[in-house]
Amino acid sequence: MIEESKGVTIMRRADELARHTEAPGLLTRTYLTDAHAGAAGLLAEWMRDAGMNVRRDAAGNVIGRYEGLTPDAPALLTGSHFDTVRDAGKYDGNLGILLPITCIAAWRRQGRRFPFAIEVIGFAEEEGVRFKATLLGSRAIAGTFDTSVLDKRDDDGRTMRDVMADAGFDANALRAAAFKPENALAFIEVHIEQGPVLLDAGLPVGVVTAISGASRFLVAAIGLAGHAGTVPMTLRRDAAMAAAEIGLFIEKRCSSISGLVGTVGQFGVPNGAANVVPGKAVFTIDIRAESDGVREAAVRDVLDEMKNIAARRNVTFDINQTHEAKSVPCADWLQDQLDSTIAGSGLPVRRLPSGAGHDAMAMAALTDVAMLFVRCGNGGISHHPDETMTAEDAETAASIFSRFVENFAPRR
């Protein structure tokens, strides 16, 4: 019998796992729904098949442990989330669970064990769709779960606490889900890039330097509405053009430094009409960088430029900060071991920041973290059914991950 390659297994299982969905014809799997329970069961089955002992914690995380050469050895942690956004891609999160399971299955067939255990964690919740709170699974394990979110309600008006109880999970036991730092050697998360950098560079994998910090603002530009025909250009206080100007400033300012990005994702003129000079425009600003200093300098410059534009155009900007998160660096020693593994495979080493948030962000509160990004097809699209990757890249990533683990040297 010809053994299926790891890459093919991973792709096949991603398809199988995607059948557990709340919405026929597309993939939506939010926290503690029936689809979520089905996916958890399937992951547990594959973990057991790979020789792991499987448990579920109070948050609903699915945790498989592949013992080391000695019992109770500290563990190298890996994994990602198996909840999804609405109308999601199949690989976001899921890849980071399926890939280690497949590698462990191979070691088990070879009878191979290491001086450390490996724990594969299927995080029950990362996307924040159902309760508008993110990273629930990894926060439970990192011991940073904010119990105030238990009172949040889903669209049906049910609290998270009640939903957990109905699904058989005890919110009061969440504290016990936290791992002990001394039992964790590191956390490495394999994840589809969800962007076009590796695709553009022609590389199957990349090493994440940091999960970028982010500053987000909701801004209203207030000018004066007027008749598009009767108000001369020199007498206008056009709110939309003030917003356009700061948008282009953000774009230019953030283009000057690699690893810095700035986006005006929402932009609208409320009740705008073709023949009315906009008196109001509402827009968002999202600025991210792997370096907090770089991000903070960009934010300062943007806020300064808004003052200039406001003065010059006789408009006001009503600025509300809606989000602020510091950068979470990946550990140098883990990046170095990933670099060596990739270089040892004959591939160019590419480091890149992660502009999106991941479970590794929360896990950094528990232990040193690293991330291996896998090339995303289709222009880098994600959070969308068009999200795609190849079996070849899955195979390459599985090979890199396997060698990384086989050569893993815990920090002294």
Q: Which residues bind a second copy (CB under 8 A)?
A: 193-197, 200, 212, 214, 216, 218, 224-235, 238, 240-241, 243-245, 247-248, 251, 254-255, 258, 260-269, 272-278, 281, 284, 286, 288, 322, 354-357, 379-383
Residue number with CB closer to a second copy (143 or 196): 196
* CB of residue 39 to a second copy, shortest distance in Å: 23
In 3-state terms, what secondary structure has residue 386?
A: coil
Q: Cα dihedral sign for 34, 36, 42, 47?
A: negative
Q: What is the largest CA-CA distance in the chain?
A: 83
> What is the C-alpha to C-alpha distance for residues 29 and 39, in angstroms, rounded to an integer?
9
C-beta closer to a second copy: residue 79 or 353: 353
What CA–CA distance (Å, rounded) separates 124 from 336?
A: 30
Euclidean distance between CA atoms 247 and 241, whole angstroms: 9
Cβ distance to a second copy smaller for residue 25 or 229: 229
Q: Which of 157, 229 has the CB closer to a second copy?
A: 229
For a second copy, give the closer residue by CB, 39 or 361: 361
Q: Return the half-sphere exposure (C-beta side, CA atoms, 13 A cut-off) of residue 274.
A: 0
CB of 378 to a second copy, least distance (A): 10
**Residue 111 — left, alpha, or beta (φ > 0 → left; ψ -120 to 50 → alpha)?**
left
Minimum gap (Å) between residue 30 Cβ and a second copy: 18
Q: Which is nearer to a second copy, 64 or 353 (CB)?
A: 353
Phi and psi angles of residue 373, each rounded to the nearest 5 degrees, phi first: -90, 140
Nearer to a second copy, 159 or 378 (CB): 378
Of 53, 65, 68, nearest in space to 114 by CA = 68
Smallest gap from residue 4 Cβ to a second copy (A)? 31
**Beta carbon of residue 51, minimum distance to a second copy (angstroms, whole number):** 35
Residue number with CB closer to a second copy (258 or 407): 258
The phi-psi region of residue 83 (left if phi > 0; otherwise alpha if psi is between -120 and 50; otherwise beta) is beta
Return the SS3 of 51: coil
Least spacing, CB of residue 400 vs a second copy, in Å: 20
- Name the minimum Å distance from CB 398 to a second copy: 22
Minimum Å gap between C-beta 211 and a second copy is 9
Where does residue 184 fall: left (phi above 0), alpha (psi -120 to 50 degrees), or beta otherwise?
A: beta
Structural element, H or E, at residue 25: none
Residue 375 to residue 198: CA distance in whole angstroms: 5
Instruction: Say if strands 226-227 and 260-263 run parallel, antiparallel, or are unpaired.
Output: unpaired
